[in-house]
A and B are shown apart, each in its own frame.
Chain A
Amino acid sequence: MPGGPVNDFLDQVETCVPALRRYARALTRNADLADDLVQDCLERAIARRGLFRPTGSVRAWLFTILLNIYRNSRRAAGRRGETVNLDSVAEPASPAPQPGHIALAELARAIDALPIEQKEVVLLIALEGLPYAEAATILSIPLGTLMSRLGRARSALRLATGVTAEPHLRTVK
């Protein structure tokens, strides 16, 4: 009796929740907004699970829903001015960055400053570790577009964090 397709679906959803929360937090940098986003995503996915096609992965489907809700909420927020709570990410208590190391607080600010379509991509790949093809499906973009956004995001982060490929040439702002 336990088991069966419904149970499998909910198990797969449960498995994805920690990653969805991490991704939502990285996107929004606000713990409450992020969990609201994940809750909306889960409620929609579970209510519409009859629409899910088992040919794709539950994970890709959940990320797609989450991103759609996020974009819609940003459009709504954009009209009344968005607030970003920077306190929600703790400043790491690290000493001054060593050459070749990346200062986490600088990186966090640099991610916030990325254009949204680059941020979505770089977090799906570098943080969530999704295969390129799966990320392209989630974002409904061709693979080539995904790769160029990923490349642009990475060089923007590199410039913004002041870290060059050669540690001894590290620029100081």
Chain B
Amino acid sequence: MSAVTHDDLMAYADGQLDPGRVGAVEAHLAANPDAASEIALMRRQSDALHALFDPVAAEPVPARLRARRIAAAQRQRRGRSWSWAVAALVLLSLGVGGGWFARPLFEAPAASAVLIADAINAHTVFVAENRHAVEVGRDDSAHLASWLSNRLDTTLGLPDLSAQGFALVGGRLLPGEPQLGGRAAQLMYEDAAGARITIYVTAALPDRQPAAQLASLDGAEAFYWANARITCTVVGTLPAERMQAVSQAVYGQLTDGDVSAPRYRS
């Protein structure tokens, strides 16, 4: 059996020693207290490093370091031209007049990319939850509506999607982009088969300009629009025609035909 080396001691301390060498090293340690305290010191060094820096790994990951958001922003930069064209088509199919939506087609709506990515992130996180999918359940829907309305400083109705086969599960308040109002509301709906969609609502952007956009990311489809009162992103993984029916219903009910309504409740 070959002599125990310093590399063996390090590997033993790091838990990376070849199992075939463990016996030799342990025999060496039993006979050499100095080597044993060397191992103990190496382990204390590692423990101390963890004590210093593990708190960083336990912090919540900042929004700018979320992989999905980065991927969405990159996709956005690449896919801007075609996604605008698709959004324009959808708005036409929703029966929205051509006058006002022309504007976002020619300006880069950077805020929308961020909101869409946040909406998809929130969707991915919470649709997977069973017991804690929502903060306030459907049994308390009147409270839910007034609470979220107060927090977003706007009037937020809860869309009725029963005609599309979806029932309200509930909703929650989420932190949003600091420069975009800082808060967001998420409403969750579920169909009889357990398929879930979420609606991500924030107060209007500072420019309060109408806009609309479609995005697709990792199998999730998002339909975003903004008006003078709110921004809204419908997220789901449904087939295209169901996504469109749901988006259309949400758009119709939350817009209420009045895209120039005041931002604040009277």
Contact = CB atoms under 8 A, between A and B. Distances in A.
Interface of A: 1-4, 6-7, 10, 13-14, 17-19, 21-22, 25-26, 34-35, 38-39, 42-43, 46-47, 89, 92, 100-102, 104, 107-108, 111, 122-123, 125-127, 129, 131-132, 147, 150-151, 154, 157-158, 163-166
Which of B14, B42, B45, B47: most chain A CB closer than 10 A?
A: B45
A42 B70 contact: yes
Contacts of A102: 44-45, 47-48
A111 to B, nearest CB: 8
Interface stretch (B56-64, B152-160, B225-233): B56-64
Given A26-B52, A102-B44, A107-B45, A10 B67 contact: yes
B138 to A, nearest CB: 25
Interface residues of B, number: 42
Contact of B62 (A25, A35, A154): A35
Given A101-B44, A127-B46, A150-B10, 12 more contacts: A2-B220, A4-B218, A10-B218, A18-B58, A22-B53, A42-B65, A104-B48, A107-B49, A107-B52, A131-B16, A147-B10, A164-B41
Q: Which of B50, B53, B54, B58 lies at the interface centre, i.e. has the most chain A CB atoms within 10 A of its CB?
A: B53
Given A102-B48, A108-B52, A123-B49, A46 B64 contact: no
A108 to B, nearest CB: 6
B159 to A, nearest CB: 24
B162 interface: no
B11 interface: yes
B219 A3 contact: yes
A47 B42 CA distance: 39
A101 B48 CA distance: 9
B80 interface: no
A151 B5 CA distance: 12
B122 to A, nearest CB: 14
A150 B71 CA distance: 36
A132 B16 contact: yes
Interface in B34-87: 34, 37-38, 40-42, 44-54, 56-59, 61-62, 64-68, 70-71, 74
B53 A25 contact: yes
Ranked nearest first, the 5 interchain pairs of A and B with the lowest CB-CB distance are A1-B219, A18-B57, A2-B219, A22-B57, A165-B37
